[in-house]
Structure 1
Amino acid sequence: MAQHKYEVVIGLEVHAQLSTNTKLFAGDSTSFGAAPNTHVSPITLAHPGTLPTMNKEVIALAIKLGIALQCDIAPLHYFARKNYFYPDLPKGYQVSQHTNPICNGGFVTINTASGEKKIQLNRIHIEEDAGKSLHDLYDTHTAIDLNRAGTPLLEIVTEPCIHSADEAFAYITVLRKIVRWLNVCDGNMEEGSLRCDANISIRLKGETTLGTRVEVKNLNSIRNVKKAIEVEVDRLIGITEAGEKIKQETRSYDADNNRTFSLRSKEDADDYRYFPEPDLPAFEISTVDIEAIKKTMPMLPNAWQTHLVNTYGLSLYDAAAICIDKADAEMYERLVTLTNNYKSTANWLIGPFRNYCIDKQTNLSEFPLNETAMADIIMYTDKGMVHYNVASTKLLMAYIDHPNSNAAALAQQLQLIQENDTDALSKWVDEALAAMPDKVKEYKAGKKGLIGLFAGQVKKLSGGKADMQTVNKLIESKLSS
């Protein structure tokens, strides 16, 4: 196939909306979902005589991400004007650090089929967002919402070192986790607070010169990043194989039809006529500032995973599952101080507790039981009083409905306590074996896997209350006699 002849070269630009309450140069709110054009002020609207004022929290968040990604933090900074006309850009220019980024270099480590790979970063810079053009509200007009204008962004730019849609998918996944972990950005791609532009080119394998690049703009989900790259690579290869010339352009992705379409020819840096922003003073970041921010940094995901493995003896799988979210990892640390059972606590957190949250479209920080109650059900199940499957469904839901009760009382009330009496268990085992004489013969003839069938029947007869460990021993004993 033609695809095997080519190497794909991808560079990604991720725009992360910072978790500040106000905009980059004005006191307008950055909260999502307000009525159009209500989070605006004369500064956002670029009224004559208004002047911007720097939001210091933005600088701190940029430094925090730069430290986490092993970047070099530049000491001296100024902003520049990036000039272009678009209806949702009130000033007619965008204030950006493009020519003087706050962070240089750095990397994001991803896992690939071939092992770990470091995705090298070119830079991270601060800039303000534009407004939003809405093309589908009216048949003959475009609506403009300037609530987003002036919102602080970090643009995180990779080197052209990504060579597949799968690598791009892995990179965005890890980067999103890190910005959420640090509370730099909420990572909500559906709301537009994390957006990705993909610069894509192809070249024959063995060549070193980059091919003509095409930029696919404003990809708003990790899945769409992957799909857009795949479909655009196929398009570029098709153009090349047909002997045609690839045009440098900006395109968009239509997820409904899984295709890209042209928006405009691609501007180069010269087209933007960058020059220093005269209304904002230059500023300096000292080593003292950087060290102070370092002291506030949480343990990063990979380090936290290692800590869970080394401290609590968890498997790497369990540790990684717990560290999907920092709030989950923090909850685990608190729960194990109450339960003292590291593995069971992990099982409950990444199993029943998280599954409940997924079903209710919420998160563990909003779980309906407090941590004392969560620990209670974990410890009660550990005692063997209730089977885990019963506890994680019936008992858990009963506890959620009656949060002021306790696991022991609810289990007694609902008759969920596991039956350990050998006489009662033996009776159920006899009934199960008597109901399946043919299967008993097959088991004795060598089909040892049938023990699961017998055990399942006992579980059914007992209403899920039988102690299955004892049941299995009784079945084996009776069938061997």
Structure 2
Amino acid sequence: MSQPKLIRGYEVVIGLETHTQLSTASKIFSGASTAFGAAPNTQACAVDLALPGALPVMNRGAVERAIRLGLAVGGAIAPLSIFARKNYFYPDLPKGYQISQYELPVVQGGHVDFLLDGVARKVRLTRAHLEEDAGKSIHEGLDGGHGVHGHHGPVSGIDLNRAGTPLLEIVSEPDMRSSAEAVEYAKALHALVVWLGICDGNMQEGSFRCDANVSVRRPGAPYGTRREIKNLNSFRFLQQAIEAEIQWQIDRIEDGHAIEQATVLFDPDAGETRAMRSKEDAHDYRYFPDPDLPPLVIAPSWVERVKSEMPELPAVMAARFEREDGLAAYDAAMVTQSVAFARYYEAARDTCKQPKLVANWLMGEVSRRLNAEERGIEAAPVKPATLAALIGRIQDGTLSNNGARQVFEALWSAGGEVDALIERLGLKQMNDSGALEAIVDEVLAANPKSVEEYRAGKEKAFNALVGQVMKASKGKANPAQANELLKKKLG
């Protein structure tokens, strides 16, 4: 492992806790729907509302999704795990406690692998445990405007639709040493849970949220006191929040103060973290086993069945692309960065049978446009079959690389059909050797000085002649053919 970069002489230590909302149709302990966007409190049943006598029943689908993650990260699936009551009082927590797993989580250990600046990194996982989400407090009219239902002034409401939604909390070891590394880990984990089909990954809707534990220390010193930044729901905020927190902690230490353990929130507008409350420790929550839920028993046969239904994992698929398609390791890792990316690559490759060219275009022009427009490959206006047709026209000599880029830009902006665009834009390469020979003869006759210089051993003169041929053909000459003809004629 390379030496971590120091910030103002301090080493940064980061661990992430990620709340992944599982993609089940119903909640973790009740039959109520988990669909997003319903009117407040229309998807909360007697169990979610903690009405007297309502008993929780474990959702089998949530357990299967936890097993799937455990298998994918190489963790141990606990044959027996226990649900506990985590006691705290908050308006959006109807029972006055949250059902979670404490001493015996469903997944223990494992690791997530990813690339950071092209270098392989591995972050160890401590655990992944099942729990229920809380509801949501909604504060309106705090700016002095009209509040809820036309009330004047600030009003707070509680929406319990989210209460009881199944979560898998994935806890990393404090293995990360920079905000960039934390973001790459979070992106890799996000891609993995979506790949496995256990979470839709929608960060705007809160399906994937990170809490970052951040501390700083002098190199070689014991870990510093950590502060936890809660509820970061975008990779950009994750990076900004960690960086703001690092600077705050170093300033504080340099000013002679001790860091106190706390839970903080990130304010993206001010670009700073603000303390919310002093951090609770486990004993503050008075955990004890939930008497309403029996221990969760996972038989080996259940694990085997889930294993047999698992999709091919990104690393396995990347290795296959290296072996069968001849891709470089980096290219294979890039085209398997998400399910959608891998599917796009496979569809285009199968159509034009040019794996390396497809990978080059995906990592080049396609990624450039997607990044500029901040959208995923699912939303790419150029579909795999169209990209394959374009690559086919480079391969058969109809288009030069430069011409292909022009056609690609037109396809991306306005759509259309490859051959029709080549015709309309007049980009068809000249492959008629007779016509090309006539142009070469004209160029040689018109440039005796360059011809002499080339024969005297000046390589640059040859490039000038190629340039003249391309110019005379309005860029339509096939460069390889032009080179060949010129060399032949110049003897």
Place the TM-score, normalised by the shorter chain, in its bin: 0.7 to 0.9
The letter of the residue matching 1:6 is Y
2:287 corresponds, among 274, 277, 281, to 274
Q: Does 1:466 align with 2:466?
A: no
In the alignment, which residue of structure 2 is the partner of 1:163? 177
Q: 1:76 Cα shift?
A: 0.9
Q: 1:123 Cα shift?
A: 0.8
SS of the residue corresponding to residue 262 of structure 1 reads strand
The letter of the residue matching 1:187 is G
More deviation, 353-362/73-82: 353-362
The letter of the residue matching 2:33 is S
Q: Does 1:21 align with 2:25?
A: yes
1:329 corresponds, among 334, 337, 342, to 342
In 2, the alpha carbon distance for the partners of 1:362 and 1:225 equals: 19
In 1, the alpha carbon distance for the partners of 2:334 and 2:115 equals: 15
In 1, the alpha carbon distance for the partners of 2:374 and 2:42 equals: 29
The letter of the residue matching 1:170 is E
In the alignment, which residue of structure 1 is the partner of 2:81? 77
Unaligned runs of 5+ in 2: 144-153
Q: 1:130 Cα shift?
A: 1.4
Q: 1:401 Cα shift?
A: 7.5
In the alignment, which residue of structure 1 is the partner of 2:136? 132
2:94 corresponds, among 85, 90, 95, to 90
The letter of the residue matching 2:480 is Q
2:246 corresponds, among 216, 233, 248, to 233
In the alignment, which residue of structure 2 is the partner of 1:31? 35
Cα deviation digits, residues 418-445 of structure 1 (max 9, x gap): 2112454466668889999999999999
Distance 1:29 1:435, change over 3 A: farther
Distance 1:20 1:429, change over 3 A: farther
Q: 1:205 Cα shift?
A: 2.4
In 2, the alpha carbon distance for the partners of 1:461 and 1:297 equals: 58
In 2, the alpha carbon distance for the partners of 1:153 and 1:113 equals: 31
SS of the residue corresponding to residue 142 of structure 1 reads strand
1:257 corresponds, among 263, 270, 274, to 270
In the alignment, which residue of structure 1 is the partner of 2:150? none
In the alignment, which residue of structure 1 is the partner of 2:309? 296
Distance 1:53 1:428, change over 3 A: farther
More deviation, 115-124/374-383: 374-383
| Kept in 2: contact 1:399–1:410 (CA 8 A) | no
The letter of the residue matching 2:107 is C
The alignment covers a number of residue pairs equal to: 477
Distance 1:447 1:190, change over 3 A: farther
Superposition TM-score, scaled by structure 2 size:
0.83
Q: 1:65 Cα shift?
A: 0.5
Distance 1:127 1:433, change over 3 A: farther
In the alignment, which residue of structure 2 is the partner of 1:180? 194
The letter of the residue matching 2:211 is D
SS of the residue corresponding to residue 158 of structure 2 reads strand
In 2, the alpha carbon distance for the partners of 1:276 and 1:442 equals: 89
The letter of the residue matching 1:239 is R
In 1, the alpha carbon distance for the partners of 2:141 and 2:442 equals: 68
| Kept in 1: contact 2:21–2:199 (CA 8 A) | yes
Q: 1:80 Cα shift?
A: 1.3
In 2, the alpha carbon distance for the partners of 1:315 and 1:2 equals: 32
| Kept in 2: contact 1:395–1:410 (CA 8 A) | no
More deviation, 438-447/13-22: 438-447
In the alignment, which residue of structure 2 is the partner of 1:207? 221
Distance 1:436 1:60, change over 3 A: farther
Distance 1:35 1:353, change over 3 A: farther
Q: How does 1:32-51 map to 2 (within 5 A)?
A: 32-51=36-55
In 2, the alpha carbon distance for the partners of 1:63 and 1:442 equals: 72
More deviation, 316-325/457-466: 457-466
Distance 1:460 1:85, change over 3 A: farther
In 1, the alpha carbon distance for the partners of 2:393 and 2:60 equals: 50
More deviation, 356-365/86-95: 356-365
1:101 corresponds, among 99, 105, 119, to 105
CA RMSD of aligned residues (A): 3.7
In 1, the alpha carbon distance for the partners of 2:403 and 2:450 equals: 27
Q: 1:359 Cα shift?
A: 7.3
In the alignment, which residue of structure 2 is the partner of 1:308? 321
SS of the residue corresponding to residue 264 of structure 1 reads strand
Q: 1:68 Cα shift?
A: 1.0
Superposition TM-score, scaled by structure 1 size:
0.85
SS of the residue corresponding to residue 155 of structure 2 reads coil
| Kept in 2: contact 1:131–1:149 (CA 8 A) | yes
1:382 corresponds, among 384, 388, 395, to 395
In 1, the alpha carbon distance for the partners of 2:383 and 2:247 equals: 51
2:407 corresponds, among 372, 375, 394, to 394
User: Percent identity at matched positions?
Assistant: 46
Cα deviation digits, residues 341-378 of structure 1 (max 9, x gap): 32233344445566676677765556667766654444
Q: 1:62 Cα shift?
A: 0.5
Q: How does 1:143-162 map to 2 (within 5 A)?
A: 143-162=157-176
Cα deviation digits, residues 113-156 of structure 1 (max 9, x gap): 79544322111001111122334554322343333222111111
In 2, the alpha carbon distance for the partners of 1:453 and 1:26 equals: 76
The letter of the residue matching 1:259 is E
